[in-house]
Amino acid sequence: MTAKETPAEIIKITLDEGRMLVLVVEVLIGFSFQSVFQPGFDRLSQLARDVSLGAFVLLLIAFGLLLMVPARHRLVEEGRDTLRFFRFSTRMMAIVLFPFALAIAMEVFVVSERLIGAGPALAIAGGSLFVALGAWFLIPALRALSSKSEHPSSMNEDLPPLKDRINQVLTECRVVLPGTQALLGFQLIAFFTDGFEKLTRGQQMTHLVALLAILLGAIFLMLPAAYHRVGDRGRDSEHLYRISNLCLMSALCTLALGISLDFYVVTQRILDHHTDAVIGAGVLFLFFVVLWFGWPLWERSRRRN
């Protein structure tokens, strides 16, 4: 932390870096979902299909962990720029890179296995994993060992000025929105694929409900910008801040529902087993709810007591 950097600026930079990760993860989630509807998916080996499902699960885990950051800032810190939150968000983004790297390597195996066989595909996937881990962990670690820069030793525990709070909550909306829009696009395309026609009526309706849930989340995330421009005419207000908070948390609710429902469709398509797909979707939904709401609310209650 330099003398010119305020706590609000440090937190905003942290959120912007998280936004970079969320966008890529959500685009790959959309790819994983869309791939099961393509004709080429039926020509994959069962091993490649299982690996594809595993990569999808890892991407969803990474997605859930990344969105813990804005959820925690809203629910636990209540918009405060604390050292505790800075350390949490920094640690969480480092943790997320490992399942993300593993998921990328697994996707490389899936697209390579049919062309060159399982052995060479595994070697390429392993090389991809090595490069990703080296770039994201080894190089930064070497820099940290040679650098004399230090983490902030303290940050202001008070609420930031209204302007900074609004800037941060809008940034957190932007963390979630681009990937949500990309995911929405993948969901819409699915309706026009040959694979969609092979789904049962129940699965098609499930996907439709998932689409509407994601659409509702996108609407929630875009509402603060419209409210700021039209309702408040570009002025910062406490009411805008409260509306933005509510929209962000509401969007997380609809995202949890929509992604879990589509996970059921994907799992059912790959495993062809209704019970396993229902259990998987239920576990995923519970995973999101606990990470984004249960854990933060429990921690906030514990600190207040």
pLDDT digits (tens, 9 = 90+) for 135-178: 888 877 777 677 655 555 556 666 677 777 887 788 888 778 87
Report which of 181, 180, 162 is spatially closest to residue 66, judged by C-alpha positions. Answer: 180
In the predicted model, what is the mean pLDDT of residues 62-75? 87
The pLDDT value recorded for residue 288 is 94
Report the C-alpha gap between 209 and 263 in whole angstroms: 12
- Where do the structural domains in the chain lie, given as residue ranges? 7-304
Highest mean pLDDT among 80-84, 221-225, 289-293: 289-293
pTM beyond 0.75: the answer is yes
Percent of the chain with pLDDT over 90: 19
Tens-digit pLDDT profile for residues 238-277: 888 888 889 889 999 999 999 999 999 989 888 888 888 9
Cβ(287)–Cβ(64) under 8 Å? yes
For residue 243, report the phi and psi dihedrals to the nearest 5 degrees. Answer: -60, -45
